A and B are shown apart, each in its own frame.
Chain A
Amino acid sequence: MSTTNHGDYFIPEPSKWPIVGTVALTTTVIGVVNTIHSMQAGGSMSLLLPIGLLLIAYLFFGWFGAVIDESMAGLYNEQVDRSFRIGMLWFIFSEVMFFAAFFGALFYARVFALDWLAGGSNNAMTNELLWPGFEGVWPLLTNPDNAAIPGPKESMGPGGLPAINTAILLLSSVTVTIAHHALRQDHRKPLILWLAATVALGVIFLFLQVEEYVHAYQEMGLTLDSGIYGSTFFMLTGFHGFHVTMGTTMLLVMLIRAIKGHFTSDNHFAFEAVAWYWHFVDVVWLGLFIFVYWL
């Protein structure tokens, strides 16, 4: 990627990546919908979906590759670095708000919806007319219309796997910080070691999460379609798991780059951005652990 000199400023040359990104995302989302519709009709996956996903992979490799090349070629000045930092910070904030929507739904259901369905506040007649005898307790095991939407047999407590997963994520936040300190002092070996440990912890977390889901589906009757408890449980933990997957992948890329000798002690924004992201994923998990599993 070549660049013209604009005084003190860095301005990238025209780039094909935004267009690739548009085609990739549009193809993917159409592919997702077509797949959903075709599967509901007993068909199979739409071809657009894998094509779109491949395009997204191409996009990431290409675009980030270009940025890495530019960065290694020393084209970026402090100002560009600051723009990237501001961008990443507010991107993470937007992710926080995305989770806030689902946490909001959880609180609303627990505090208001169930209480009102059970006749609370001024809703005695709601209860009487819709589903008389319904009791709004959390975790909700008996749904208002339990015949149409059977509730789960039991709820997911905080002990066991969730507690272990909490420890794993907290630990991984520590390891990534140690790796960062190592990088800042230009200690390549410990950087690689601690980063590898962080990736491993991420993978273990995901593995245990899958284990938990299997258990929920097969033994507890806790599924996406088992009422509001299952809906909020899987939506929150699922999107969190998706973010852990993204985070682990990004950490892996950082690990590979560290092994290849990228980054210097004072120039490693990509690493920092991933570390921020990882801490964010960690904090979201704490919220989940408290409000989804524990209280």
Chain B
Amino acid sequence: MSAVIEEHHDHHDHKPSGIGRWLFSTNHKDIGTMYLWFSFIMFFVGGAMALVIRAELFQPGLQLVEPEFFNQMTTLHGLIMVFGVIMPGFVGLANWMVPMMIGAPDMALPRMNNWSFWLLPGAFGMLIASLIMSLMGMGSAPNFGWTFYAPLSTTYGPASTDYFIFSVHLMGISSIMGAINIIATIMNMRAPGMSYMKMPIFVWTWFITAYLLIAVMPVLAGVVTMMLMDRNFGTSFFNAAGGGDPVLFQHVFWFFGHPEVYIMILPAFGVVSQIVPTFARKKIFGYSSMVYATASIAFLSFIVWAHHMFTTGMPVAGELFFMYATMLIAIPTGVKVFNWVSTMWRGSMTFETPMLFAIGFIFLFTIGGFTGLMMCIAPADFQYHDTYFIVAHFHYVLATGAAFSIMAAVYFWIPKWTGNMYDEKLGKLHFWLTAIGGNILFFPMHFVGLAGMPRRIPDYSLQFAEFNAMATVGAFIFGFSQLIFLYNVIKTIRGGEKATDQVWEGADGLEWTLPSPAPFHSFTTPPTVK
């Protein structure tokens, strides 16, 4: 097929044009851009679903949607935010930044990189198609929650569940290839002198995240495969009548699921560890302890999964083991928070938008960490489990945690990506509306949760009404302020004050030695690292 090897085009730094540039790309920046836009679009799709949920919950009683449709909304909202927004968002950042930070020309396996990306539209196309069919009255979209517990997803799952299963397979293949690529890039493409312990923390956190992905995405593939077999070929994995156990589903799922939540937070730690030193104009406090803390969190994440299953009737020894193991995670996490705060201590700080989001992250993520500690106490969790308290917990770590860090990263690096400064006023406005809206939205969930309001229901008793109304108001503030973000990003791409190469006064690292905007191929000759 390729007898064209002789014809060496020599277009240095000349971008391919047209749609082909994106479809056939082998360029880490273009692929990173596609990941980030995909994530951004999905953020609005998943966000719209969240607003449907919140609108229905504005008042007790059923107003807007059928309970069946409500279930499809919670399910797809969760799946899209986890697999379609946070994960691709971080992969997009990794694609853009890892080669630049380690002094490489591109990712190690550029074609596979493009394949990883393009599988995502295929996977989410299938998922969203089932929702469109459902809106047209043909069957139901997945309706069993993002955790798709058996038997809801096996015995009782709608026909679209089988498409969902394969959509998860495609996402899994995409993530595994992406992770392999990141590992190969970091192990093999570092510039001379860039030893492991000199790598920026963002690179370190992604390195470890990639191992988590390779270890658990196949397990997710395994559990959906067992679902497929139980649904269509009469196996009994999750069916007690044949000697299986529905609780087995939860074990396999959460063996994936808990490392998965760290997959969504470790790169966030990395982003914050880049931003805080820059705007405090100091070196990061405790570099090596950051690295070791990340590695211990990753290790511990494999032995805590059943803290999601305290109420399933595990033997007491199991409850205790998973309770204490989970508590241990607070130690390395605490080390990180301590280091960020110490980095700021006596720093010469300024508060540009990225720093605001990073500090917002440290505050709000830590609130989520504390509620996590409350829930990991097994006897207490009997009260919290499956209530809005959990919803509050994971939105503090994911929305005001992981998502905040992605926003921080975009503001931090967009001058390098586009060569233009973003509009600082709009950026600050975006931050304050998001932070205030987010807290009005998620904080009351703690109260209704502690008072016993169950999650994933379209209706609730009267005593929860005020806090739910508040949360809905917060949701609309939070949601619509993202349009400012969109506007600001587009405005920055279109033009604006020119950015310098270093961009930020306190910025340190290889990516800031490249021109802004960064050239199409990052480092075509390896830079030297002192």
Given A83-B184, A113-B247, A122-B315, 14 further pairs, Cβ under 8 A: A2-B9, A18-B115, A19-B23, A22-B115, A30-B163, A73-B5, A86-B180, A90-B179, A91-B180, A100-B218, A113-B245, A131-B241, A144-B241, A224-B233
Q: Are B9 and A4 closer than 8 Å at their CB atoms?
A: yes
19 contacts across the A-B interface (CB closer than 8 A)? A1-B2, A1-B5, A4-B9, A9-B104, A11-B105, A19-B114, A33-B163, A70-B2, A87-B108, A101-B226, A102-B222, A105-B226, A109-B243, A109-B248, A144-B243, A224-B234, A225-B242, A226-B242, A227-B242
B237 within 8 A of A: yes
Q: Are B26 and A13 closer than 8 Å at their CB atoms?
A: yes
Q: Are B232 and A40 closer than 8 Å at their CB atoms?
A: yes
- Other-chain contact of B242, A17, A73, A143 (Cβ < 8 Å): A143
The smallest beta-carbon distance between B496 and chain A, in angstroms, is: 30
Q: Are B243 and A108 closer than 8 Å at their CB atoms?
A: no
- Other-chain contact of B170, A29, A70, A148, A228 (Cβ < 8 Å): A29
CA distance A9 to B233 in the complex (A): 49
CA distance A25 to B177 in the complex (A): 14
> Which of B68-76, B444-452, B521-529 is near enough to bind chain A?
B521-529
Q: Are B180 and A66 closer than 8 Å at their CB atoms?
A: no
A287 within 8 A of B: no
A interface residues, Cβ below 8 angstroms from B: 1-9, 11-19, 21-23, 25-26, 29-30, 32-33, 36-37, 40, 62-63, 65-66, 69-70, 73, 75, 79, 82-83, 86-87, 90-91, 93-98, 100-102, 104-105, 108-109, 112-114, 116-117, 121-122, 130-131, 136, 140, 143-145, 148-149, 223-232, 234-235
A142: nearest chain-B partner, CB-CB: B243
**A227 touching B184 in the complex, CB below 8 Å, given contacts A19-B23, A21-B115, A25-B119:** no
CA distance A122 to B316 in the complex (A): 10
CA distance A251 to B16 in the complex (A): 38
- Other-chain contact of A18, B4, B12, B112, B252 (Cβ < 8 Å): B112
A225 neighbours in B (Cβ, 8 Å): 233-236, 242
B410 within 8 A of A: no
The smallest beta-carbon distance between A56 and chain B, in angstroms, is: 12
**A9 touching B216 in the complex, CB below 8 Å, given contacts A69-B1, A108-B251:** no
A100: nearest chain-B partner, CB-CB: B219
CA distance A101 to B10 in the complex (A): 48
Size of the chain B interface, CB-CB below 8 angstroms: 89
The smallest beta-carbon distance between A280 and chain B, in angstroms, is: 13
Q: Are B159 and A97 closer than 8 Å at their CB atoms?
A: no
Q: Mark B165-176 against chain A: 1 for CB-CB distance below 8 A, else 0.
A: 111011001001
**A231 touching B5 in the complex, CB below 8 Å, given contacts A18-B118, A22-B118:** no
A-B complex: 5 closest residue pairs judged by Cβ atoms: A101-B222, A225-B234, A228-B243, A18-B115, A145-B241
Q: Are A90 and B183 closer than 8 Å at their CB atoms?
A: yes
Q: Are B21 and A14 closer than 8 Å at their CB atoms?
A: yes
The smallest beta-carbon distance between B166 and chain A, in angstroms, is: 4
Q: Are A79 and B8 closer than 8 Å at their CB atoms?
A: no
**A12 touching B236 in the complex, CB below 8 Å, given contacts A227-B242, A235-B229:** no
Q: Are A36 and B115 closer than 8 Å at their CB atoms?
A: no
Q: Are A231 and B244 closer than 8 Å at their CB atoms?
A: yes
- Other-chain contact of A97, B21, B117, B219, B524 (Cβ < 8 Å): B219
CA distance A1 to B185 in the complex (A): 22
A97 neighbours in B (Cβ, 8 Å): 214-216, 218-219
**A79 touching B189 in the complex, CB below 8 Å, given contacts A94-B214, A109-B245, A113-B243:** yes
B interface residues, Cβ below 8 angstroms from A: 1-2, 4-5, 7-12, 16, 20-21, 23-26, 104-106, 108-112, 114-115, 117-119, 121-123, 125-126, 159, 162-163, 165-167, 169-170, 173, 176, 179-181, 183-185, 187-189, 214-219, 221-223, 225-226, 229, 232-237, 239-245, 247-248, 251-252, 255, 315, 521, 524-526
The smallest beta-carbon distance between A177 and chain B, in angstroms, is: 26
A6 neighbours in B (Cβ, 8 Å): 12, 105, 521, 524
A136 neighbours in B (Cβ, 8 Å): 243
A59: nearest chain-B partner, CB-CB: B115
Q: Are B1 and A104 closer than 8 Å at their CB atoms?
A: no
Q: Are B235 and A25 closer than 8 Å at their CB atoms?
A: no
The majority secondary structure among interface residues of chain A is helix
CA distance A91 to B498 in the complex (A): 43
The smallest beta-carbon distance between B184 and chain A, in angstroms, is: 4
B10 neighbours in A (Cβ, 8 Å): 4-5
Q: Are A11 and B110 closer than 8 Å at their CB atoms?
A: yes
Q: Are A4 and B2 closer than 8 Å at their CB atoms?
A: no
Q: Are B243 and A143 closer than 8 Å at their CB atoms?
A: yes
CA distance A97 to B218 in the complex (A): 6
CA distance A23 to B111 in the complex (A): 15
A63 neighbours in B (Cβ, 8 Å): 111
B7 neighbours in A (Cβ, 8 Å): 2
The smallest beta-carbon distance between A10 and chain B, in angstroms, is: 9
The smallest beta-carbon distance between A74 and chain B, in angstroms, is: 10
B16: nearest chain-A partner, CB-CB: A14
Q: Are A235 and B122 closer than 8 Å at their CB atoms?
A: no
CA distance A26 to B223 in the complex (A): 20
The smallest beta-carbon distance between B213 and chain A, in angstroms, is: 9
The smallest beta-carbon distance between B24 and chain A, in angstroms, is: 4
CA distance A30 to B247 in the complex (A): 29
- Other-chain contact of A231, B105, B108, B242 (Cβ < 8 Å): B242
**A11 touching B2 in the complex, CB below 8 Å, given contacts A87-B184, A91-B180:** no
The smallest beta-carbon distance between A33 and chain B, in angstroms, is: 4
B104 neighbours in A (Cβ, 8 Å): 9
B11: nearest chain-A partner, CB-CB: A4
Q: Are B106 and A65 closer than 8 Å at their CB atoms?
A: no
Q: Are A113 and B232 closer than 8 Å at their CB atoms?
A: no
Q: Are A113 and B244 closer than 8 Å at their CB atoms?
A: yes
CA distance A143 to B1 in the complex (A): 56
CA distance A241 to B181 in the complex (A): 28
The smallest beta-carbon distance between A220 and chain B, in angstroms, is: 16
Q: Are A26 and B315 closer than 8 Å at their CB atoms?
A: no
B211: nearest chain-A partner, CB-CB: A90
CA distance A79 to B109 in the complex (A): 11
Q: Are B244 and A14 closer than 8 Å at their CB atoms?
A: no
CA distance A2 to B5 in the complex (A): 5
The smallest beta-carbon distance between B274 and chain A, in angstroms, is: 25
- Other-chain contact of B8, A4, A37, A109 (Cβ < 8 Å): A4
